[in-house]
Chain A
Amino acid sequence: MHPATPPTTGTPVGRAHRTPLPRRRLLRGLLAVTVAAPLMFGAAACGDDGGAADPNAPVKLSIFWWGGDARAKLTEDALALYTQKHPNVTFEKTWQANQGYFDKLATLTAGGNPPDLFQIDDNYLAEYAARNTTLDLTPYQESGKLDTSKFPKSLWQYGVVDGKLAGLAAGENTQGLVYNKTLLTKHNLPEPTTGMSWEQHIAWAEQVTAKTKVPGTQDPSADYKAFWVWLRQQGKDLYKGKELGFTAEDVTKWFDLWKGARDRKATPTADVIHEGNASDVTKQLVVTGKAATSWVWANQMPDLKKNTKDELGVIAYPGDPSAQWARASMYWSVFKGSKNKDVAIDVINFLNNDVAAVKLLGTDRGLPSNLDLRRVVSDDTTDPAMKQSIAVEAELTQKFGESPQVPIKGHSKVKSELIKAAENAQYGRATPAEAAAQFVEACKSAIA
């Protein structure tokens, strides 16, 4: 029915697909006017075919993600694979570094030109979902177009905001404490282990500082994910419904814990802690050599390894590891106003459940969400750093607790306020109690 559009081969230029549409419609219109009545039925039939229902109609899907060159390569390969199977679908790919990504995404949305499909994380998922920007994926999940049957339940549930599935986990990760193995071996120091208490961790770090002259641990008091794990171990949480899940007293205890650690020289000085508070992988103190441990996500191991010659190890954060959970490292979300919803859903499904695609993507976005395929990928992996992060997550998977709710609207502000408050205490400009009071105050207005 559509001879005007040639089947695509190789890497087609998207523009070529757009142009035939209006021209065809124009021709069809002319045809209808000149030949009129006799061909009415034919024209009508043709009109039906031209709609979104035709599975072979050319579609150009815009897709946007953050990440480095390596991720871009893997993602482009996986998308090319999709085009191979569905020659009518081509992609308009845009990607950039994490810094500035969400500014760009917001601006694109404001400009009425958001991508059909975009990568997002739990820091922003609720911001977008609460503003009705993301498509509710629940109906597609129910109809089976989006297959989550092989996903851990808690993992896809970590994409539910206000009862709607706002994003589908593109991978799984969890908090990981990364330490410098080479440094410890050189000084005959024991490696830290999962299940050490926070006090034990600090005592261990103090010992590391004393022997190696490298501060034993980054002070994570400004790090929301460390604070979060610690809170869950106290039976609290970051959020409860639309409220904070903690009080100023909890924050004071947390800041006090780390003030003690700083006084014992278990951590670097405030200015170095500040350097490590940047979220950038390359600035983590464990790879810049300014501390023996850093608080990161377990799937960042390969990236960290690229930035240091030393051997690294990874374990869970201190305390009871059941406070950690199968976190969606990032999600794929579909823009609610997208004209290509069905295709976008199918692409998400493909990226998560197609053997070849998942094998291509590896653990770059975290462990594959599909458990069957996760096994396939971990058997295949040759990268030692990736193997380590798979091993620790596989071990922790058995201990994971229930997922918390996705952080609520205002979370990005809460994150930056925690950094400000913690640094106030670290630089000695405020006591832990003062900093905690300011923080809770600022949080309340941020999530109001």
Chain B
Amino acid sequence: MALTTAPDPTRRGPGSARAHPQRRGPGRFRHSEGLAGYVFLSPWLIGLMGVTAIPMLLSLYLSFTNYDILTPFSEVEWVGLANYERMFTADPSYWHAVRVTLTFALIAVPLKLAAALGVALLLNRAWRGVGLFRGLFYLPSLLGGSVALAIVWVNMFNRDGAFNSLLSLFGITGKPWVNDPDWALETLMVLAIWQFGAPMVIFLAGLKQVPTELYEAASVDGAGRLRQFRDVTLPMLSPVIFFNLVLETINGFQGFTAAFVLSNGTGGPVDSTLMYTLNLYITGFTDLNMGYASAMAWVFLIAIAVITAVFFSTGRFWVHYSDGEDR
């Protein structure tokens, strides 16, 4: 499966050996080939510069200014580190948003991965109609971060929504989940967890790659199901787990659409769904503090980079790229 080879940078196929002699070709040839390379790259390169790199650098500059969207660029004032100072010392709602986002990511991401892995294990068997189930479980992910889905969610978890009707069948009086500051964020977590299809498909692909002889050997050695899972499945799956963990964590931190729709773009009730990105959006576009919002965006970028770096550095201890060729 292509998916499992993707996160495996150490694999050296015959392809790289073949590419080698070409690099030693005559200089002129190399030059024109390089130019052609850039020409072929240009659609991507122009996109990168125009849509990503230049705006990013601009926002870095703006994060040191009092830019408020309405004032022309030429009249923007340089304020040094004032925006960053305000963020760290004088803005309680900023830290509130950080807390909300961390809570969301710390709970939703592991549960989502656990759900994805659990269902992938179940669907890895050769049952009749298992393909249909794979499709069904993947379906919510196709709907992705869509607005329509969030609206459905709000209506399902209202005081008089479908979920409470279901509860009332069992004699339980539900809560106004989405309108209760103690439960609104949890409702968003459930939505995120429910969309476990994408990591599940990747897990499934990973499970298919585990050589059956390892299980045979383990069972010959007397390992039970649980032991096999712990000592064969998990280590063999660790690159895939790592890949999913990194991606889902980044996704988790960036959750925006559902929170925006659920709270009408306010982060309410009482800021309970004020995710980092939503707070950033409100600061920039509603309160017109675009300079400050740019500073928030940069701190966010750095925070995510640090977290990802931590994952990569700890990965050494628990991720096994054991195709037998390396390490």
Residues of chain A having any CB pair with chain B under 8 Å: 99, 102-103, 106-107, 109-110, 112, 127-128, 131-133, 269-272, 274-275, 277-278, 280, 410, 412-413, 416, 419-420, 423-424, 427, 429, 442, 445-446
Contacts and interface: CB of A to CB of B under 8 A. Distances in A.
B261 to A, nearest CB: 11
Q: Chain B at the A interface: mostly helix, strand, loop or mixed?
A: loop
18 contacts: A106-B70, A106-B285, A107-B69, A110-B290, A127-B288, A131-B70, A270-B269, A274-B179, A274-B268, A274-B269, A275-B179, A280-B264, A412-B287, A416-B266, A419-B266, A419-B268, A420-B270, A427-B270
Given A274-B269, A427-B270, A416 B70 contact: no
B6 to A, nearest CB: 37
A106 to B, nearest CB: 5
Contacts of B264: 99, 278, 280
B269 A271 contact: yes
A112 B265 CA distance: 26
Given A133-B70, A413-B287, A427-B181, 17 more contacts: A102-B286, A103-B285, A103-B286, A106-B285, A110-B70, A131-B68, A271-B180, A271-B269, A272-B159, A275-B179, A277-B268, A280-B264, A419-B266, A419-B268, A420-B268, A420-B271, A424-B270
Contact of B268 (A102, A103, A127, A423): A423
Nearest to B180: A271
B71 interface: yes
B180 A127 contact: no
A269 B179 CA distance: 11
Q: Chain A at the B interface: mostly helix, strand, loop or mixed?
A: helix
A98 to B, nearest CB: 11
B268 A109 contact: no
Contacts of A112: 72
Nearest to A422: B270
Interface in B88-108: 90, 93
Interface residues of B, number: 25
Interface string B247-270: 000000000000000001110111
Contacts of B288: 106, 127, 412
Interface in B57-101: 68-72, 90, 93
The 9 closest A-B pairs by CB, nearest first: A271-B179, A271-B176, A131-B70, A103-B285, A110-B69, A106-B69, A423-B270, A274-B269, A133-B70
Nearest to B67: A110
A427 B269 CA distance: 9
Interface string B274-292: 0000000010011110100
Nearest to A275: B179
B287 A109 contact: no
Contacts of A99: 264-265
A104 to B, nearest CB: 9
B155 to A, nearest CB: 12
Contacts of B180: 271, 427
A445 B90 contact: yes
Nearest to B289: A413
A445 B94 CA distance: 14
Nearest to A409: B288
A132 B72 CA distance: 10
Contact of B70 (A103, A109, A410, A420): A109
Contacts of A274: 179, 268-269
Contacts of A429: 181, 270
A282 to B, nearest CB: 12
A103 B285 CA distance: 5
A128 B288 CA distance: 10
Nearest to B274: A420
B296 to A, nearest CB: 15
Contacts of B287: 410, 412-413, 446
B119 to A, nearest CB: 33
Nearest to A109: B70
Nearest to B271: A420
Contacts of B69: 106-107, 109-110
A291 to B, nearest CB: 14
Contacts of A420: 268, 270-271
A415 to B, nearest CB: 10
Contacts of A271: 159, 176, 179-180, 269
Nearest to B182: A427
Contacts of B269: 270-271, 274, 423, 427
